[in-house]
Chains A and B, each alone.
Chain A
Amino acid sequence: MSQSLDAYLVVSGILFAIGTFGFLARRNAISMLMSIELMLNAVNLTIISFGAFIPALNGTASVIALMVMAVAAAEATVGLAIVMAIYRNRRTPLVDEYDAMRQ
């Protein structure tokens, strides 16, 4: 099982689906950012598994995964800064109360 590519792909698919559910269902903006991190991790797991099982992708996959991590760090920084900026104006972290453009 730990020697087959499919097992890793299925695990990362389930992790991605959990992240999708969290992003769609949670009300808190920070929870949604956590779900995005879960989805990014699932994608990284897919990339690393392909790198481990397909010889032509071996080193390249690790390089791409490291790049994805750097981009995820940048995304978390800017995303959380945006949440903080909105929180200072609206006094709530709940996304369904950000309805200024609907009024």
Chain B
Amino acid sequence: MPIPDTVPVLGISWGDVLFLVLAAVMLGSALLVVTLRDIIRCGLAMIVAFGALAGIYVMLGAPLVAAAQVLVYIGAIAVLILFAVMLTQAKNAPVGLVFQAQALPAAIAAIVLAVMIALTASATDWGAVTKRIATGTDALARLLFTTYILPFEVVSVLLLAAVIGGIYLAKREGRDA
């Protein structure tokens, strides 16, 4: 039995449903990241948000970026952050206050920022906007290794510098064991 083009009862397309679900999961777990009390759970919610964002990248026709999102953000950055959480949460850490005193003004500022960005983005005429187009991986690779070869090499040097800097900063001084 063939699947109909739109959702049977609601009459909206499957792409819209997928987009709404992914966006809701991403924004909901992002809210959990900034509001949950237990910081380990914040880290886990962050992984969910990154995964949903990878799904949105696939919807936007950028599968290579989605794969890099899963590898780099979920595989490397989230794990790194979870390790740092485990190393810095002392047993006798104060559990009471999660937020600074400026949390309420920060919330107001964030809401104003969101509304402002949303209004500006929908009011602006972006010019030559077409239907959604996919990015071919071979075209992307050609671009990355010809036109953008210099930034690519600079980024690899930057990563090397970050590795060395990270090791230097995290290294224990001889005296404090």
Contact = CB atoms under 8 A, between A and B. Distances in A.
A51 B72 CA distance: 20
Interface of A: 1-3, 5-11, 13-22, 24-28, 30-31, 33-35, 37-38, 41, 44-45, 48-56, 58-63, 65-67, 69-78, 80-85, 87-88, 91-94, 96
A41 B53 contact: yes
Given A18-B30, A34-B33, A54-B128, A74 B158 contact: yes
Interface of B: 12-13, 15-16, 18-20, 23, 26-27, 30-31, 33-34, 39, 42-43, 46, 49-50, 53, 56-57, 59-62, 64-65, 68-69, 72-73, 76-77, 80-81, 84-85, 87-90, 93-94, 97-100, 102-103, 105-107, 109-111, 113-114, 117-118, 121-122, 126-135, 139-140, 143-144, 148, 151-152, 155, 158-159, 161-163, 165-170, 172, 176
Nearest to A88: B176
B18 to A, nearest CB: 7
7 contacts: A2-B18, A5-B126, A25-B100, A45-B57, A49-B60, A63-B151, A84-B169
